[in-house]
Amino acid sequence: MPAFLIRLARFTGRLSLALGAVAALIALFLALIALTDGAGSGLVAWSTAIGAGGALALWRGRRRAWPARLVPLVPVAVAAALTASVCIPTVPVQRQRPPALPFVATQHWQLSTGSRVAVYHYPPARSAPRHPVPFVYLNGGPVRGISVLDHRFLRLLARQGHDVYAYEPAGAGRSDLLPMDQYTISRSVRDLAAFVDRLDKGKADVLGFSAGGAVLTRALADPRVAARLHRAIIAEPGPMDGPTAHITGHKGRSSARGLAPAMTGPRSTHVPRYAVAFGLMRLGLLSPGTGLIGQAEGVNAFTAADLGSDTASAYCARDAHRIPTEDSAQNFSFSPAASLRIQQTIKDSPSIAPRLGRSRTPAMLMIAECSSQVRQWATAVLTHDPAIERTQYMPGVGHHMWNGLDDNDDRAAAVITAFLQGEPSPLPNHPTHETVPAFLRDHE
């Protein structure tokens, strides 16, 4: 064999061993991140992994002459540089609230629960008949700021005479953070009750969308909270309890997931620190209260582009190439850690079906044709809540039913107003309590 090939084979072998050593140290670092729950911004795991790697490298080179004794340390230095990036914040670690919106004032209300939330009020237009009952909006998320797209819909409702109030959940948008262990679905329900009390206008009509729909459903199952509600509109709800959260089933008609162009803009998941933190949290290998990144840092880092195909899944396949911009970069706010924490408390909660079966608050359920939600999340509410007076199957829309496309906002507002006024709906009542089995069987 020519000398050149021998040297090349030796070089390739040594390079492979060096790369293997780097990979092994990175794997050890990630394992220690999980075992220590990211303690000390990851520095505990980093110092342990690199210290162990350095000691092993020095032991391997102990019989070599200087400076060859230091060669085994090269892979350790490379691994140290690569893993150190996971321990260094690239965004502010203190909370950076979104700037004020130009079209509505932000108020801050201290609730009796201890939550301090950002509140938005859209008074009813003078040109429209005024609805006497205040209207409260619970947005999706959970722990996500109210999008500009949602604000536009709330302004439409106000122009039609509704006295509209909305608040961003604790930890979201311009609201104050909570200690991580206080983010629970029960706290979200108590915050709703405290908000209506703070409003001090008697009972309120409440629209709960997505995660907000789950909060509203659980509020209806609690007589003390339900007593504060005049009428309830549950739109595209998330799972209401543990048994529902563990249901697997079909979804609505085809959504734009996988069809729409990829979202543009910066992604925190392109930064090693946040890719590791959010990835391991999603896998359940880091707790929401991990020491790797603080709650405020996680909120500051997460961007709309990080939602990826989740945004496209909220629209029908036919709308894949005209999905609107839901929010501005300045207004977008989402807390992935607090969101996971609340979702876990839902999964761990017992069934609320017996209590929901005693609900007497008039309610309406809204279901989208191209919903990305498991259908049984909505039909479980319909099955167990005898006070649901009508169901509105919204054709031509996905999970985000009011989206600024075509006349979707007007159609959603029409069914909401008709229900709140006790007037006939522009859409048929479908499905009903009795037709849920057929609705699920036909995969509507």
89 part of a folded domain: no
Q: Find all residues with CB under 8 Å of 407, minimum gap 6, and list them.
A: none
Q: Is 193 among the domain residues?
A: yes
Query: Could you tell me if 273 and 327 lie in one domain?
Result: yes
Whole-number pLDDT of residue 70 = 57
Residues with Cβ within 8 Å of 9's Cβ and at least 6 positions away in sequence, in order, are none
Minimum mean pLDDT among 18-32, 193-207, 212-226, 292-306: which range? 18-32
User: What pLDDT sits at residue 19?
Assistant: 75
297, 432: one domain? yes
In a domain, 187, yes or no: yes
Give 5's pLDDT tier (boundaries 50, 70, 90).
low
**Residues 61, 135 within the same domain:** no
Last residue of a domain, one of 84, 118, 150: 84
Same domain, 59 and 196: no
pLDDT of residue 256: 93
- Percent of all residues in the chain with a pLDDT value above 70, rounded to a whole number: 92
Average pLDDT across the chain, whole number = 92
Tell me if 257 sits within 8 A of 312, measured CB to CB.
yes
Report the Cα 99 to chain-centroid distance in Å.
Answer: 21
Say yes or no: 47 and 138 in one domain. no
pLDDT above 60 for 50 = yes
Does one domain contain both 209 and 73? no
Q: Which amino acid is at 97?
A: R
Q: What is the mean pLDDT of residues 135-143?
A: 95
Residue 115's Cβ-count burial label (10 Å; 0-12, 13-18, 19+) is buried
Q: Kindly list the strands in the beta sheet with 116-122, ordered across the sheet, starting from the edge strand earlier in the chain.
A: 107-110, 116-122, 164-167, 135-138, 204-209, 229-235, 363-370, 388-398
b/e for 273-312, b at 16 or more Cβ within 10 A? bbebbbebbeeebbbbbbbbbbbbbbbbbbbbbbbebebb
Asked if pLDDT for residue 18 goes beyond 70, the answer is no
| Over residues 394-411, mean pLDDT | 96
In a domain, 164, yes or no: yes
Domain count along the chain: 2
Q: Identify whether 412 is part of a domain.
A: yes
Q: Is residue 98 part of a domain?
A: no
Is 50 a member of any domain? Answer: yes
Q: What is residue 192's predicted lDDT score, i.e. its pLDDT? A: 98
Domain stops at, among 34, 50, 84: 84
Residue 186's pLDDT band (boundaries 50, 70, 90)?
very high
Residue 310 sits in the same domain as residue 405: yes
Residue 100 within any structural domain of the chain: no
**Same domain, yes or no, for 202 and 326?**
yes
Cα 162 to Cα 133, 148, 225, 317: the distances in Å are 8, 19, 22, 32
Clarify whether residues 60 and 141 are in a common domain.
no
Q: What is the pLDDT of residue 67?
A: 65
Question: Tens of pLDDT along 343-385?
Answer: 999 999 999 999 999 999 999 999 999 999 999 999 999 999 9
- Residues 15 and 125 placed together within one structural domain of the fold: no
pLDDT number for residue 17 = 65
Question: Which of the listed residues 52, 84, 116 is the one where a domain comes to its end?
Answer: 84
pLDDT digits (tens, 9 = 90+) for 263-312: 888 899 899 999 999 999 999 999 999 999 999 999 999 999 998 888 99
Residue 74 is predicted with a pLDDT of 78
**What pLDDT, on the 0 to 100 scale, is given for residue 4?**
57
The pLDDT score that the predictor gives to residue 65 is 57
Token pair belonging to 423: 């007037």
* pLDDT of the residue at 249: 83
Enclosing domain of residue 432: 107-441
Per-residue pLDDT tens for 56-99? 767 766 566 566 555 667 777 888 889 999 999 999 999 999 99
Tokens of 39: 């303690």
129 pLDDT tier (thresholds 50, 70, 90): confident
pTM of this structure:
0.92
Q: Are 63 and 114 in a shared domain?
A: no
> What CA–CA distances, in Å, run from 345 to 181, 224, 338, 341, 342?
10, 21, 11, 6, 5
pLDDT at 6: 57
Q: Judge if 334 and 377 occupy the same domain.
A: yes
Neighbours of 40 (CB within 10 A): 13
CATH number, domain of 171, equals: 3.40.50.1820
